[in-house]
């Protein structure tokens, strides 16, 4: 709640709207005890007095009634009717929406088609029809305005409810013995209340306007009772001769609706989690670079050389050290596995290479990434853009979200090529077909015209691989490319990747959490934990003799097929939070070998025999480097 108020206060327009509205509301609450003249007493002798006249600050209207008094009483009435209409519309509309969204199926269909019919009428026509049926009067105007706005709430809330009704916690509540009504009120309602509040705060101003509109037409408040709409309506005939009688209520409507809308927008921005997390602040095209020390010197070894890379996320005052002093290099045609659990920094390392970490909040704070003698960290956007997808290509986990759903896969492949190489249309199509053939998609000639949704998950991932291969890259960075796939499909995609890297001599940086996959595909492995590489070496060495206690423990945790029923090994405790890393070894709190020294200072990498380990008490001693 305090966070909500803080966020709201940061928005100056919303704050101003809130202050003005509070004053208006406060004054209209106090109207009965303010020393005002009676609003309905006519005195035709004093009609149309100008503002600032004696005894009448805002002048008088066509019947000589005090405008200030009428304005304040009218504001009080308009606010009350508008707010009441909003509450009625919100309660009924939300109830309809929740019921339709929760029960779904035919119930949903019938209710929502009814709501659609209500929406098909122009709102003012519908309101007029309701008032015509019920007869004029403020209460009937309120009913009409509420009824007209029910569909808005019903549709909004139904959409939100549909998403919530399929959440597992609703199923869990059913299994815990709750009935439909209890689930609706205690499980679903608390989750939709913020949306109802948002919808109300943005529509209440609109409803005040609509009530004023009906009163203006003489269908709302009846004389002599004043509300803002009827005041305008009565002043209409004197608009030219005595404009102040229209301007006064008109200005008041403007002030109320404007301040409500400003406040409402602020409430929405502060309550909506998507807007709060900054989804509207679009990330920059490359990650921000703010290196605190001079970067390592090039030109770097191999096709991709990551040196002492540090990537952090700055969220408010908290600093998440996602990647900390990571050094990796990949030789041409080599497959390097990067293995780690969630939050170990493996994906952020991969995204940092081409400056793809979202900024804000991501910042590269140190290190360098060399490719072809050039440091990619801090390279200009145009340079990165030229290299992205050309020399360095990515494959991501979920092919459904990386392929554009409305464009045929052939055109997406062609686009990937066209961005980097000027090639004719016919040739592009042929290249796309060749690429699909390369990734063993049967009937490539017809598949090239398919949309992504027409393909299975495995096929889509093959298309994504084809796209990565489109420009004959030197490095492919594959971020958990088979995690979303079934095992039988995974086996095929892995063997395809293995064949392709030999055929095209492309280096692969393969990010995964699965030792089985690493063992089958990768030449070398780097194990990450808490944002650091804790062990690096050839796959065979590491799998046969893991040196870091974490690697060893992690391998013991992986159940292997064929060993029968058994107790599985577990690592006690939880992975560290990267905004609160211990000063020494990040694994020390969970490590059975940890000593006091392990927790004092950062542990350096020990190298030997083509391996490296970041541990003071490794499981196996590394072979000393023999002098050449």
Partner 1 sequence: MSLALQLDDLSKTFPVGKPLFGPAKAHVRAVRPVTLQVETGETLGIVGESGCGKSTLARMLVGLLPPSTGEIKIEGHRLNNANPAEFGRSIQYVFQDPISSLNPRKSIRSILEVPLKRLHGMNAEARRARISEIFASVNLREEFLERYPHEFSGGQAQRIGIARALAANARIMVLDEPVSALDVSVQAQVLNLLARLKGEFGLTYLFISHDLAVVEAVSDRVAVMYFGAVVEVGKAEKIFAAPRHPYTNLLAGSAPVVGRPLTPPEAKGTELPDPLNPPPGCPFAPRCPKATEICRDVDPPLEQMGEDQFAACHHPLDA
Segment interacting with partner 1, rule: CB under 8 A, options 23-31, 413-421, 470-478, 566-574: 566-574
552 class by beta-carbon count within 10 Å (0-12 exposed, 13-18 middle, 19+ buried):
middle
Q: Is 1 in the site for partner 1 (CB under 8 A)?
A: no
Residue in 47, 62, 178, 276 binding partner 1, rule: CB under 8 A: 178
Residue in 430, 492, 538, 606 binding partner 1, rule: CB under 8 A: 492
Residue in 32, 35, 55, 179 binding partner 1, rule: CB under 8 A: 179
CA 313, CA 253: separation in Å to the nearest integer?
Answer: 46
Q: Is 202 in the site for partner 1 (CB under 8 A)?
A: no
E strand or H helix at 367, and its extent? strand 362-371
Q: Is 570 in the site for partner 1 (CB under 8 A)?
A: yes
Alpha-helical (H) ranges within 505-601 are 515-521, 539-544, 549-557
CB 137 within 8 A of CB 77: no
Smallest CA-to-CA distance from 415 within 452, 475, 470 is with: 470
* Closest distance of CB 489 from partner 1, Å: 5
Which positions from 501 to 540 touch partner 1 by CB under 8 A, shown as an x/- string?
A: ------------xxxxx-xxx-------------------
Quick one: 109 or 222, whose CB is closer to partner 1? Answer: 109
CB 513 within 8 A of CB 340: yes
Overall size of the chain counted in residues: 628
Residue in 36, 63, 83, 173 binding partner 1, rule: CB under 8 A: 173
CA 151, CA 112: separation in Å to the nearest integer?
Answer: 9
Alpha-helical (H) ranges within 135-216 are 138-165, 168-175, 180-182, 189-216
Q: Is 316 in the site for partner 1 (CB under 8 A)?
A: no
Taking the CA atoms of residue 176, residue 178, residue 179 and residue 181 in that order, the dihedral angle to the nearest 10 degrees is: -150
CA 256, CA 207: separation in Å to the nearest integer?
Answer: 12
Quick one: 248 or 444, whose CB is closer to partner 1? Answer: 444
Segment interacting with partner 1, rule: CB under 8 A, options 255-263, 312-320, 347-355, 451-459: 451-459
Segment interacting with partner 1, rule: CB under 8 A, options 48-56, 173-181, 199-207, 420-428: 173-181
DSSP string, 264-280: HHHHHHHH-HHHHTTTT
Quick one: 373 or 572, whose CB is closer to partner 1? Answer: 572
Q: How many residues bind partner 1 (CB under 8 A)?
A: 65
Kindly report the number of other CB atoms within 10 A of residue 544's CB atom.
9
Quick one: 388 or 501, whose CB is closer to partner 1? Answer: 501
Q: Is 385 in the site for partner 1 (CB under 8 A)?
A: no
Smallest CA-to-CA distance from 156 within 187, 123, 185, 115 is with: 115
Residue in 23, 569, 601, 623 binding partner 1, rule: CB under 8 A: 569
Phi-psi region of 290 (alpha: psi -120 to 50; beta: other; left: phi over 0): beta
Quick one: 178 or 291, whose CB is closer to partner 1? Answer: 178
* Closest distance of CB 560 from partner 1, Å: 6
Residue in 282, 317, 425, 566 binding partner 1, rule: CB under 8 A: 566
Residue in 258, 571, 605, 616 binding partner 1, rule: CB under 8 A: 571
Q: Is 561 in the site for partner 1 (CB under 8 A)?
A: yes
Helix axes 244-271, 67-103, angle to 10 degrees: 30
Segment interacting with partner 1, rule: CB under 8 A, options 164-172, 210-218, 388-396, 500-508: 164-172
Q: Is 278 in the site for partner 1 (CB under 8 A)?
A: no
Residue in 38, 122, 190, 223 binding partner 1, rule: CB under 8 A: 190
* Closest distance of CB 562 from partner 1, Å: 6
259 class by beta-carbon count within 10 Å (0-12 exposed, 13-18 middle, 19+ buried):
buried
* Closest distance of CB 480 from partner 1, Å: 13
Number of H helices, E strands in the chain: 23, 13
Q: Is 560 in the site for partner 1 (CB under 8 A)?
A: yes
* Closest distance of CB 245 from partner 1, Å: 51
* Closest distance of CB 513 from partner 1, Å: 7
Place of tokens 């063993």: 440
Segment interacting with partner 1, rule: CB under 8 A, options 13-21, 276-284, 555-563, 597-605: 555-563
Residues 42-101 touching partner 1, rule: CB under 8 A, are none
Q: Is 490 in the site for partner 1 (CB under 8 A)?
A: yes
CB 46 within 8 A of CB 37: no
Residue in 565, 592, 624, 627 binding partner 1, rule: CB under 8 A: 565
Q: Is 557 in the site for partner 1 (CB under 8 A)?
A: yes
Residue in 13, 36, 400, 491 binding partner 1, rule: CB under 8 A: 491
Residue in 109, 222, 237, 595 binding partner 1, rule: CB under 8 A: 109
161 class by beta-carbon count within 10 Å (0-12 exposed, 13-18 middle, 19+ buried):
buried
Q: Is 442 in the site for partner 1 (CB under 8 A)?
A: yes
Residue in 46, 61, 66, 187 binding partner 1, rule: CB under 8 A: 187
62-68 long-range contacts, CB within 8 A, separation 24+: 62/234, 62/235, 62/237, 62/238, 62/242, 62/245, 65/39, 65/40, 65/41, 65/224, 66/36, 66/37, 66/38, 66/39, 67/244, 67/245, 67/248, 68/36, 68/37
Place of tokens 């939709």: 192
Kindly report the number of other CB atoms within 10 A of residue 63's CB atom.
17
Q: Is 564 in the site for partner 1 (CB under 8 A)?
A: yes
Residue in 488, 624, 626, 628 binding partner 1, rule: CB under 8 A: 488
Q: Is 545 in the site for partner 1 (CB under 8 A)?
A: no
Pairing of strands 507-512, 475-479: parallel
- Cis-peptide into 299, omega within 30 deg: yes
Q: Residues interacting with partner 1, by CB under 8 A?
A: 106, 109-110, 113, 167-169, 171-179, 187, 190-191, 341-342, 442, 456-458, 486-492, 494-496, 498, 513-517, 519-521, 543, 553-554, 557-572, 574-575
């Amino acid at each position: 709640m305090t966070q909500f108020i803080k966020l709201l206060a940061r928005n100056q327009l919303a704050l101003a709207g809130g202050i003005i509205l509070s004053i208006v509301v406060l004054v209209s609450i106090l109207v009965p005890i303010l020393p005002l003249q009676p609003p309905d007493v006519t005195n035709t002798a004093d009609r149309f007095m100008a503002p600032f006249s004696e005894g009448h600050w805002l002048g008088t209207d066509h019947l000589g009634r005090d405008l200030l008094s009428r304005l304040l009483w009218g504001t009080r009435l308009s606010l009350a009717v508008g707010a009441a209409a909003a509450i009625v519309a919100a309660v009924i509309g939300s109830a309809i929406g929740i019921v339709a969204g929760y029960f779904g199926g035919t119930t949903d269909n019938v209710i929502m088609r009814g709501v659609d019919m209500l929406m098909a009428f122009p709102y003012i026509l519908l309101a007029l029809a309701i008032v015509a049926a019920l007869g004029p009067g403020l209460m009937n105007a309120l009913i009409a305005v509420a009824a007209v706005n029910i569909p808005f709430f019903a549709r909004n809330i139904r959409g939100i409810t549909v998403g919530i009704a399929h959440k597992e916690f609703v199923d869990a509540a059913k299994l815990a013995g709750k009935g439909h009504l209890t689930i609706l009120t205690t499980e679903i309602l608390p989750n939709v209340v913020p949306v109802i509040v948002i919808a109300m705060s943005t529509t209440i101003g609109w409803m005040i306007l609509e009530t004023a509109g009906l009163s203006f037409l003489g269908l709302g408040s009846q004389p002599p009772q004043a509300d803002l709409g009827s005041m305008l309506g009565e002043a209409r005939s004197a608009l030219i001769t005595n404009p102040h009688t229209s301007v006064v209520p008109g200005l008041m409507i403007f002030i109320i609706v404007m301040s409500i809308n400003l406040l409402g927008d602020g409430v929405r921005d502060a309550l909506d989690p998507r807007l709060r997390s900054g989804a509207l602040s679009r990330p920059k095209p490359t990650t921000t670079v703010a290196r605190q020390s001079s970067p390592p010197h090039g030109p770097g070894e191999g096709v991709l050389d990551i040196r002492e890379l540090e990537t952090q996320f700055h969220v408010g005052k908290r600093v998440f050290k996602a990647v900390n002093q990571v050094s990796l290099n990949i030789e041409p045609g080599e497959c390097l596995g990067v293995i780690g659990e969630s939050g170990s920094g493996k994906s952020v390392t991969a995204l940092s290479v081409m400056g793809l970490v979202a900024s804000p909040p991501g910042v590269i704070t140190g290190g360098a990434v060399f490719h072809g003698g050039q440091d990619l960290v801090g390279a200009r956007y145009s340079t990165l853009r030229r290299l992205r997808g050309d020399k360095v290509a990515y494959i991501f986990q979920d092919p459904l979200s990386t392929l554009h759903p409305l464009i045929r896969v052939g055109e997406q492949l062609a686009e990937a090529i066209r961005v980097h190489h000027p090639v004719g249309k016919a040739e592009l199509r042929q290249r796309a077909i060749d690429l699909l053939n390369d990734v063993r998609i049967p009937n490539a000639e017809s598949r090239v015209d398919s949309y992504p949704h027409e393909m299975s998950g495995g096929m889509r991932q093959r298309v994504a691989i084809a796209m990565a291969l489109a420009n004959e890259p030197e490095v492919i960075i594959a971020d958990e490319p088979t995690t979303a796939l079934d095992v039988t499909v995974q086996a095929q995609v892995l063997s395809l990747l293995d064949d392709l890297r030999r055929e095209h001599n492309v280096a692969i940086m393969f990010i995964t959490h699965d030792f089985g996959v690493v063992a089958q595909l990768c030449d070398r492995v780097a194990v990450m934990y808490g944002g650091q590489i804790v062990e690096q070496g050839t796959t065979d060495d590491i799998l046969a003799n893991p040196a870091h206690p974490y690697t060893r423990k992690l391998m013991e945790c992986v159940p292997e097929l064929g060993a029968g029923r058994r107790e599985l090994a577990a690592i006690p405790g939880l992975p560290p939070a990267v905004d609160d890393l211990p000063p020494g070894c990040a694994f020390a709190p969970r490590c059975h070998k940890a000593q006091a020294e392990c927790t004092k200072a950062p542990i350096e990498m020990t190298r030997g025999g083509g391996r490296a380990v970041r541990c003071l008490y490794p499981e196996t001693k590394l072979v000393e480097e023999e002098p050449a």
